[in-house]
Amino acid sequence: MKITVRPGGIAQTSSECIILGIYEGERSLEEPARVVDRASAGMLQEIMQSGDFKGERYRSFLLYQPREIAARRIMLVGLGKRKDCTLDKIRGAAAQGARAVRDLGLHELLMPATFARIPGVPPTGIIRALAEGVMLGLYAFDEFKTTNEGKKKNVIEAVTILVENAQELQAARDAARKAEIIARAVQVVRDLVSRPANSATPAFMARTAKTIAKTSGLVCTVLSPSQAKKLGMGCFLGVAQGSREPAQFIVLEYVPAKAQHADTIVLVGKAITFDSGGISLKPARGMERMKDDMSGGAAVLGIMQAAAQLKIPLRVIGIVPATENLPGGAALKPGDVITSLSGKTVEIITTDAEGRLILADALAYAQRYKPHAIIDLATLTGACITALGNDVAGVMGTDEQLINKIKEAAAATSEKVWQLPLWEEYSELLKSDIADIKNAAGRDAGAITGGCFLKAFTGKTPWVHVDIAGPAWTEKDRPYLPKGATGFGVRLIINLLENWKKKGYIKGEKVNR
């Protein structure tokens, strides 16, 4: 799909279908809708007064062949009440409109840049939301369908965003291009996470990382199991030893121009390509979902691609330890003690707490880059879903400023996060009788004790852990989050990197609006 931004009037530009945003319950129409209304002899007003379509959020309504309008059709999409309208709703409305146009079997659509307005949000902000909404909403994964009925055969090939004011054209094009880069990165992540585990193996993750490196200008290094062994990655290899698939320790590096002055950020992503639980086997029911246990690693690959393409002025390192967690004959057993890259010994209480083991070595490895910050993304605990539900990620870490930056990025992108504490009392729960630390405490505060375990391997570097077990996957189909893999984390972390040097505006309790 291609997104083009060009100048022109809404009534004069020909298209298969215009998508128009409509606020709920308003007598006077917004500018693009008013133009359409006038050119169609008041048809829009008539429809709204009849009550057939009132602008209810995400409802759509098709108008056919309006007189004196160059476009063949108009798809009205409800934005809901103006006072409740946010960028996220605009993203959703654009997605919903585009999906309705696709379902008509059309291949092309047009949207005005003035689709909706939010006080304080510049036109470029709206354009980003429109472009993201359309691309994310139209996503489908049908690589493994072999019949036409199975595939979403209708495809939108061309999207045009119309800008009235030619002076704003360049800024509008830049905004759309950025949105395209970010949405494409989200698509890469969704593709990886959707892909079944017999195809998305650790080796596949490594190949994907190499392809991304080649096409986006990154340096990619993959450590083999024997290299990892020489370094002493006992935790990472401990998890891998129950599987026949060779583990892959993937490192991507992005070096910006003027690298001497750039801060270094390390991103770490959990990539368990399938989590059976190992010897501490998970129940069979729902286990197929555990192909998504590499969502953090996939997000890091997508973020690295977007960071390079956006030329973010930071040195960004992506570390993705990739392995399966299977109960083979050589697998780790409860009670085993293994030695991590940091030198700390770990007693295995359950082999199902494997994510924190591979992350322990990745976090220790991250120190080699002397980073200003380490951020990890991981589908770490079911307990985080119990605490916060399916739509919200848990954040916890050792640096309030860094946590606040994440909260700001979350507020800006609607990739929601909520902070959990890492008080010492929780770390006490991980004391082992035989080793330096154990990999699981009881059921209580499971998301937090997971975070506490990771904290033990972060040294003095400011670090934040984002537990994405909930939001990495959605069972509900939503406008720009089709059912399945969401690609959570890409928009969040890219926003954070884009605003890295900006002064924070969140103080005290005023967070997560």
Query: Rounded to whole angstroms, how far apart are CA atoms 57 and 129?
Result: 16
Judged by CB under 6 A, the stretch of 116-124, 136-144, 243-251, 380-388 that binds ligand BES is 380-388
For Zn ion, the closer of residues 245 and 293 by Cβ is: 293
The residue written with tokens 């086997």 in the block is: 281
Instruction: For residue 73, give Cα distances in angstroms to 21, 124, 284.
Output: 14, 26, 49
In this chain, which of 160, 379, 413, 458 binds ligand BES, going by CB under 6 A? 379
Contact characters 477-506, Zn ion, x per CB under 5 A: ------------------------------
- 242 lines the binding site for Zn ion (CB under 5 A): no
Q: How far is the CB of 282 from Zn ion (least distance, A)?
A: 9
Q: How far is the CB of 380 from ligand BES (least distance, A)?
A: 6
Ranges within 448-477 binding Zn ion (CB under 5 A): none
Q: How far is the CB of 293 from Zn ion (least distance, A)?
A: 4
Q: How far is the CB of 207 from Zn ion (least distance, A)?
A: 22
Query: Rounded to whole angstroms, how far apart are CA atoms 55 and 43?
Result: 15
- Of Mn ion, ligand BES, Zn ion, none, which one does residue 168 interact with (CB within 5 to 8 Å by kind)? none
Contact characters 284-303, ligand BES, x per CB under 6 A: ---------x----------
Six-digit token pair at 235? 């935790």
In this chain, which of 168, 245, 347, 354 binds ligand BES, going by CB under 6 A? 354
- Of Mn ion, Zn ion, ligand BES, none, which one does residue 469 interact with (CB within 5 to 8 Å by kind)? ligand BES
Ranges within 452-481 binding ligand BES (CB under 6 A): 469
The residue written with tokens 């996060």 in the block is: 417
Instruction: For residue 54, give Cα distances in angstroms to 47, 51, 62, 307, 467.
Output: 8, 6, 13, 41, 39
Q: Which residues contact 427 (CB under 8 A, 6 or more apart)?
A: 452, 455, 456
Q: Calculate ∠ Cα 125-496-221, nearest 5°.
A: 125
Contact characters 352-381, Zn ion, x per CB under 5 A: ---x--------------------------
For Mn ion, the closer of residues 168 and 293 by Cβ is: 293
Determine which helix (DSSP H) or strand (DSSP E) holds 490, and give its type and residue range: helix 490-498
Query: Rounded to whole angstroms, how far apart are CA atoms 152 and 193?
Result: 19
For Zn ion, the closer of residues 30 and 292 by Cβ is: 292
Which positions lie near Mn ion, rule CB under 5 A?
Answer: 275, 352, 354
Q: Residue 305: is it exposed, middle or buried by C-beta count within 10 angstroms (0-12/13-18/19+)?
A: buried
Query: Rounded to whole angstroms, how far apart are CA atoms 108 and 129?
Result: 18
- Of ligand BES, Mn ion, Zn ion, none, which one does residue 245 interact with (CB within 5 to 8 Å by kind)? none
Q: Are 79 and 24 in contact (CB under 8 A)?
A: yes
Map residue 138 onto helix, strand or coil. coil
Q: How far is the CB of 444 from ligand BES (least distance, A)?
A: 11
Q: How far is the CB of 333 from ligand BES (least distance, A)?
A: 15
SS (H, E, C) 252-292: EEECCCCHHHCCEEEEEECEEEEECCCCCCCCCCCHHHHHH
Type of residue found at 479: P
Count of positions on this chain that bind ligand BES (CB under 6 A): 15
For ligand BES, the closer of residues 234 and 278 by Cβ is: 278
For ligand BES, the closer of residues 188 and 294 by Cβ is: 294
- Of Zn ion, ligand BES, Mn ion, none, which one does residue 13 interact with (CB within 5 to 8 Å by kind)? none
- 371 lines the binding site for ligand BES (CB under 6 A): no
- 353 lines the binding site for ligand BES (CB under 6 A): yes
Residue, CB closest to ligand BES: 382
Judged by CB under 5 A, the stretch of 67-75, 267-275, 400-408, 480-488 that binds Zn ion is 267-275
How far, rounded to the nearest angstrom, does the alpha carbon of residue 388 sit from its chain's CA centroid? 17
Q: Which residues are catalytic?
A: 282, 356
- 427 lines the binding site for ligand BES (CB under 6 A): no
Q: How far is the CB of 174 from Mn ion (least distance, A)?
A: 42
Q: How far is the CB of 338 from Mn ion (least distance, A)?
A: 16
For ligand BES, the closer of residues 406 and 440 by Cβ is: 440
The residue written with tokens 């379509």 in the block is: 53
Ranges within 134-163 binding Zn ion (CB under 5 A): none
SS (H, E, C) 19-35: EEEEECCCCCCCHHHHH
DSSP label at residue 483: S
Judged by CB under 6 A, the stretch of 103-111, 151-159, 350-358, 409-417 that binds ligand BES is 350-358
For Mn ion, the closer of residues 354 and 415 by Cβ is: 354
Q: Which residues contact 75 (CB under 8 A, 6 or more apart)?
A: 17, 18, 19, 20, 60, 61, 62, 63, 97, 100, 101, 109
In this chain, which of 350, 367, 499, 512 binds ligand BES, going by CB under 6 A? 350
For ligand BES, the closer of residues 100 and 377 by Cβ is: 377
Residue-wise burial string across 177-189, b where 16 or more C-beta atoms lie within 10 A, e elsewhere: bbbbbbbbbbbbb
Query: Rounded to whole angstroms, how far apart are CA atoms 451 and 449?
Result: 5
Q: Which residues bind Zn ion (CB under 5 A)?
A: 272, 275, 293, 355
Q: Which residues bind ligand BES (CB under 6 A)?
A: 275, 293, 350, 352-355, 379-383, 440, 446, 469
